[in-house]
Amino acid sequence: MAVAELSPCYQTQIVKPPHLSWLSNNHKLNLLGLPKASRITEICCSLAPNQVQTPVAVPTGAQSIKPECYGVFCWTYDLKKEEETRSWKKMITIAISGAAGTISNHLLFKLASGVVFGPDQPIALKLLGSEKSFHALEGVAMELEDSLYPLLREVSIGIDPYEVFEDAEWALLIGAKPRGPGMERADLLDINGKIYAEQGKALNAVASPNVKVIVVGNPCNTNALICLKNAPNIPAKNFHALTRLDENRAKCQLALKAGVFYDKVSNVTIWGNHSTTQVPDFLNAQIGGVPVKEVIKDQKWLEEEFTEKVRKRGGVLIQKWGRSSAASTAVSIVDAIKSLITPTPPGDWFSSGVYTNGNPYGIAEDLIYSMPCRSKGDGDYELVKDVIFDDYLRKRIKTSEEELLAEKRCTAHLTGEGIAVCDLPAGDTMLPGEM
Ligand SMILES: NC(=O)C1=CN([C@@H]2O[C@H](COP(=O)(O)OP(=O)(O)OC[C@H]3O[C@@H](n4cnc5c(N)ncnc54)[C@H](OP(=O)(O)O)[C@@H]3O)[C@@H](O)[C@H]2O)C=CC1
Ligand SMILES: O=C([O-])CC(=O)C(=O)O
């Protein structure tokens, strides 16, 4: 079944394909990546098949039919014509992969509510799924509609990254295959690396040239490096691997041990890989503005128990929940975005897996490695220079670096650097969720 007649939906009959019967007129909703013959680019009416709607007046100035629409009908909203929305900022476009997954299900509703980008920032969400998840993605879009978020002005769903990533100013890349029983770490690097190579190419071709990319799907550091290498037109500095969840976990453990609320804990760096070699830095961290080591005088606890707890927190949670951290991961993605769009509080910093070229710490170049960052709130960041090191910290930073170098060698075929050689260090290269 196809759209019956091409005229404004407030005047005439629209017959929609049965699988689109859930669409309503609150938002523009695009279906991207469907076969061209069945794709309806923008749909605005919520009429059941064969239902006739009597003519209604278009609210003056509030909505109009988009002139470039063809074959379908769509509302556009001129935000500058409405009193309540006149002061709003220009809409931004956020693309999300793995959008039918668990983390995404927590994240999307935070983005749409305005708590991330602010109460005057309208957003367009472009959701990437697969053929397998497409129906679930429709369900996600339905729930977003039913939430009536004023700031959510567009939702589109699709399975082709070249369409979904078009004009994206933020790309939150969450989709990845989880490591299954008996699967080698090298297999996971290869399978997910291929996804991120493809998505890097798509971002390079169609996203906004200054798109900010946050890679969540594991192994997130190496996935981010692969994505970056396949997107040479996008500044390397714009790519992040999410280590904010690890930072939040470390802050929680330090607060618990010191008997303070976690807002007193600052300057926590996670160094290295989002894996069990990550280094939660208690040397530079502070509690109430005082070095952690002066508050928690138990060096053994800091070196052993604290470090292990943070590194393996994901695994313990999986044992309790039966699935990996999703709500707290979504919260940490929000924190990571906010850290880039709001000035970092004086004296503090945040952790992110970022490109190592030009780093002041002597870490090998050409990796995505978690380091301490500060931002002016303009979407960009600088690495923090005034951090101190001791032998304990240096040694562990090196171990995580070696792991990432090995992951890089193992994915050389995906970064354009020749033939892959997988000599992953035994015992390491575990995700936080692996035990
Ligand atoms: N960096 C961090 O701090 C954390 C990272 N993670 C990682 O985030 C990722 C997503 O977690 P979560 O949302 O809970 O997982 P889910 O399994 O709920 O969703 C992930 C999505 O990834 C997509 N996917 C699954 N398999 C494949 C495949 N073979 N090829 C392409 N896409 C696939 C699926 O979407 P579709 O079919 O639509 O493509 C799926 O909906 C995982 O890699 C997890 O390890 C988790 C917690 C913390
Ligand atoms: O290991 C996983 O898949 C989950 C994960 O990254 C974490 O909990 O930090």
**pLDDT higher than threshold 50 for residue 92:** yes
- The answer to whether residues 93 and 124 touch, using CB atoms and an 8 Å cutoff, is yes
Residue 8 burial class via C-beta count within 10 angstroms: exposed 0-12, middle 13-18, buried 19 and up: middle
Q: Which ligand does the CA of 135 lie closest to?
A: 1
Helices (H) and strands (E) in the chain, counts: 12, 17
- The answer to whether residues 370 and 355 touch, using CB atoms and an 8 Å cutoff, is no
Residue 262 burial class via C-beta count within 10 angstroms: exposed 0-12, middle 13-18, buried 19 and up: middle
Ligand 2 pocket check: which of 329, 333, 428, 435 to mutate, most ligand atoms within 8 Å of Cβ? 329
The CB of 245 under 6 Å from ligand 1? The reply is: yes
pLDDT number for residue 278: 97
Q: pLDDT for 166-203, tens place per residue? A: 999 999 999 998 877 767 778 889 999 999 999 999 99
**Domain ranges in the chain?**
83-241, 244-415
pLDDT band, residue 32 (cuts 50/70/90): low
Closest CA to 173 of 215, 139, 145: 215
Specify the ligand 2 atom closest to the Cα of 245: 9
Report the percent of the chain where pLDDT is more than 90: 70
Lining ligand 2 with CB less than 6 A are 218, 245, 314, 324-325, 431-434
So what's the architecture of 83-241 in CATH?
Answer: 3-Layer(aba) Sandwich (3.40)
CATH of domain 244-415: 3.90.110.10
Report the percent of the chain where pLDDT is more than 70: 82
Catalytic residue numbers read: 274
246: CA distance to ligand 1 center in Å?
18
Pairing state between β 212-215 and 239-241: parallel
pLDDT number for residue 185: 79
Q: pLDDT for 225-241, tens place per residue? A: 999 999 999 999 999 99
Closest CA to 251 of 220, 222, 288: 288
- The answer to whether residues 412 and 283 touch, using CB atoms and an 8 Å cutoff, is no
pTM, entire model: 0.87
Average pLDDT, the chain: 84
15: CA distance to ligand 1 center in Å?
36
Residue nearest to atom 9 of ligand 1 (CA): 217
**Torsion of Cα atoms, 21 then 22 then 26 then 30, to 10°:** -80
**pLDDT higher than threshold 90 for residue 12:** no
Q: pLDDT for 256-312, tens place per residue? A: 999 999 999 999 999 999 999 999 999 999 999 999 999 999 999 999 999 999 999
Tokens of 374: 């500060």
Distance CA 117, CA 138 (A): 24
pLDDT number for residue 429: 72
Residue nearest to atom 42 of ligand 1 (CA): 217
The CB of 310 under 6 Å from ligand 1? The reply is: no
